[in-house]
Amino acid sequence: MRVIKKISEAQVLAQRIREEGKTIGLVPTMGYLHEGHLSLIRQARKDCQQVFISIFVNPTQFGPAEDYKSYPRDFLRDKRLAEKEGVDIIFAPSPGEMYPAPFHTFVEVEKLSEPLCGRSRPGHFRGVATVVAKLFNIIRPHIAYFGQKDAQQAIIIKRMVHDLDMDVEIEVLPIVREKDGLALSSRNQHLNEAERRAAPILYKSLQEAERMIKLGERQSRNIIRRMEEMIKGENLAKIDYLAIVDGEALKERERVEGKVFIALAVRIGKTRLIDNLMLEI
Amino acid sequence: MRVIKKISEAQVLAQRIREEGKTIGLVPTMGYLHEGHLSLIRQARKDCQQVFISIFVNPTQFGPAEDYKSYPRDFLRDKRLAEKEGVDIIFAPSPGEMYPAPFHTFVEVEKLSEPLCGRSRPGHFRGVATVVAKLFNIIRPHIAYFGQKDAQQAIIIKRMVHDLDMDVEIEVLPIVREKDGLALSSRNQHLNEAERRAAPILYKSLQEAERMIKLGERQSRNIIRRMEEMIKGENLAKIDYLAIVDGEALKERERVEGKVFIALAVRIGKTRLIDNLMLEI
């Protein structure tokens, strides 16, 4: 396994691999790898002849008051895990390598970046789209892998790839959960014991929504009211947003029908967690 | 020579050419080809094994009150000229092919898009950067050719390529002029006889600026004042902007030193023309 820190070196290597006719899989990450990331790596390993992962905590997708500095980092641990999964190349650039001053260019996916996490985190998806565009241009993967946990991100990246005619296939893999239902996230690391016990409330509320829908409930506001009640019953939880939108344009839905996306962000103590459910009715 | 209208077809063909190890040159145009475009095509023909030109009047770079509809178009004439210059492939998509609804993604080059033409034409360079990013992703040229007449555009595209790590070399070739100094532009077509006689005032004022600088003048405001006088002496001319900025960050310069860029946009009747001079003092 090779670790590459320079853009030019990654670009030359990836191009050589392409010219040899080999397929390239890319798993873009911010490091602090967990089973969610590993499920993406394993799929890439199955599909592609060469597997790149990127490890880069991307400053442009964090707001000024957000957790860029405290985002968990452990490169040696990540390296060990990646090696074990058979990753071929880790691309781990510095912030100065990715954003040399002056840096002026951003990719903006309008409309889809506005609701949900986009409302709570202005500029977040602009940073995501920009860094992913850069990674795609550097590594030129045949397939890139993303987790369904960041469902809005995956929708935005698919849209960017489509709109800008990028020649890459986007694979989105299911959320990996702890036994009690908590979606895996590097940020779970920040939870203390009491917060960790409270955190499964996100998934429990989604399961309750699913149960109501299965029983025939179609009014979004009834489902949201019930989810709110449940989450508010948890002292350490504070709702950031809770929404039922359609699964493509991300517009709010009064009635639950067709491709429906139930998404929520909840603060557990100081840690903001997200989770979601995609349903086809 | 082939004419391709579908993105997917251009993408597949360009990829096959790359896989054969051949170099691809791209000349992006809005058609209505003139000697300026042909100078780019000739250079591409010298440098590259396969020459693509794109012909696409890009709606996203025109403001609502601008000349998108009346922009001159003559595909048969363009085809004849391209064939004569040895172009291999014309990529000529429809607006619906390039911007299928819903279309949400835009590339924004901040700061550099704000002054000069960016101020007069809000959103113009966002449209330019977006369409050029698309063309680069579709055709994946080794070298792309642009004219110095659209100097701000060339600076913005170089910046985009650098910031987003696009693997393409940008060549910028000198302005081609009529005998009386008028810079070639498809929009010259719109000038009536009297306007055509008035139009060389843009270049004359730039020549006067160059003369003053050669004689030792270093105060931008003195040079601009003199240029204004000259242009205002021409009844049919109306200044849109007139600026002396530095040749990289495009910031206004009080004193003429280093890499200096003198740029102007002037309306001759209803037709907005631009011209510029890049100087190294």
pLDDT one-digit tens code per residue, B97-144: 999 999 999 999 999 999 999 999 999 999 999 999 999 999 999 999
Tokens of B38: 């042909």
Give the CA distances from residue A168 to residues A22, A140, B200, B221, in Å, rounded to whole numbers and listed in that order: 14, 8, 48, 51
Residue A16's pLDDT is what?
96
Of the residues B54, B105, B250, the best mutation for testing chain A's interface (the one with the most A CB atoms within 10 Å of its CB) is B105
Q: Which residues of B touch A60 (CB under 8 A)?
A: none
CB contact burial A153-178 (16+ within 10 A = b; e otherwise): bbbbbbbbbebbbbbbebebbebbbe
CB contact burial A200-234 (16+ within 10 A = b; e otherwise): bbbbbbbeebeebbeeeeeebeebbebbeebbeeb
Helices H / strands E in chain A, number of each: 10, 10
SS3 for chain B is CEEECCHHHHHHHHHHHHHCCCCEEEEEECCCCCHHHHHHHHHHHHHCCEEEEEECCCHHHCCCCCCCCCCCCCHHHHHHHHHHCCCCEEECCCHHHHCCCCCCEEEEECCCCCCCHHHHCCCHHHHHHHHHHHHHHHHCCCEEEEEHHHHHHHHHHHHHHHHCCCCCEEEEECCCECCCCCECCHHHHHCCHHHHHHCCHHHHHHHHHHHHHHCCCCEHHHHHHHHHHHHHCCCCEEEEEEEEEECCCCCECCECCCEEEEEEEEEECCEEEEEEEEEEC
Tokens of B58: 């890009």
* Active-site entry in A37, A104, A142, A190: A37
Q: Hey, which residues does A52 pair with through a beta bridge? A: A26, A89
Residue A252's pLDDT is what?
95
Give start-end residues of each CATH 3.40.50.620 domain in chain B: 2-173
| Active site (annotated) includes residue A124 | no
Tokens of B209: 């600026």
Residue A12's pLDDT is what?
97
Give start-end residues of each CATH 3.30.1300.10 domain in chain B: 191-272
Strands B271-280 and B259-268: antiparallel
Shortest alpha-carbon distance between residue B156 and chain A (Å): 9
CA distance A265 to B244: 50
DSSP notation for A123-174: THHHHHHHHHHHHHHHH--SEEEEEGGGHHHHHHHHHHHHHTT---EEEEEP
DSSP notation for A62-86: S-TTSSTTTS---HHHHHHHHHHTT
Those residues with Cβ within 8 angstroms of residue B109's Cβ, 6 or more apart along the chain or in another chain:
A104, A105, B125, B129, B156, B159, B160, B163
Residue type, A138: I
Residue A91's pLDDT is what?
98
Of the residues A128, A135, A163, the best mutation for testing chain B's interface (the one with the most B CB atoms within 10 Å of its CB) is A163
Residue B22's pLDDT is what?
98
Q: What is the pLDDT along chain A (281 residues), one digit of tens a residue?
A: 999 999 999 999 999 999 999 999 999 999 999 999 999 999 999 999 999 999 999 999 999 999 999 999 999 999 999 999 999 999 999 999 999 999 999 999 999 999 999 999 999 999 999 999 999 999 999 999 999 999 999 999 999 999 999 999 999 999 999 999 999 999 999 999 999 999 999 999 999 999 999 999 999 999 999 999 999 999 999 999 999 999 999 999 999 999 999 999 999 999 999 999 999 98
**Maximum Cα–Cα distance across chain B:** 58
Give start-end residues of each CATH 3.30.1300.10 domain in chain A: 186-280
CA distance B15 to B10: 8
Residue type, A236: L
Residue A41's pLDDT is what?
98
Residue A241's pLDDT is what?
97
Contact assignment for A108 to B106 by CB distance below 8 Å: yes
Contact assignment for A105 to B164 by CB distance below 8 Å: yes
Does ipTM surpass 0.90 in this model?
A: yes
Residue A133's pLDDT is what?
98
The fold of B191-272 is: Pantoate--beta-alanine Ligase; Chain: A,domain 2 (3.30.1300)
Residue A173 and residue A145 in contact, taking contact as beta carbons nearer than 8 Å = yes
Rg, chain B, Cα only: 19
pTM for the model stands at 0.97
* A180 dihedral zone (left: phi>0; alpha: psi -120 to 50; beta): alpha
CA distance A149 to A171: 13
Q: Which residues of B touch A163 (CB under 8 A)?
A: 103-105, 134
Residue A153's pLDDT is what?
98
Low-confidence ranges of chain B (pLDDT < 50): none
Residue B84's pLDDT is what?
98
* Active-site entry in B37, B104, B124, B162: B37
Residue appearing with tokens 């909840």: A266
Q: Hey, which residues does B143 pair with through a beta bridge? A: B25, B169
How many other C-beta atoms lie within 10 A of the C-beta of residue A80? 11
CA distance B209 to B221: 11
Q: Which CATH architecture has domain A186-280?
A: 2-Layer Sandwich (3.30)
CATH classification code of A2-173 = 3.40.50.620
CA distance A156 to A141: 18
Tokens of A74: 């452990």
Residue A48's pLDDT is what?
98
Q: What is the DSSP letter of A249?
A: T
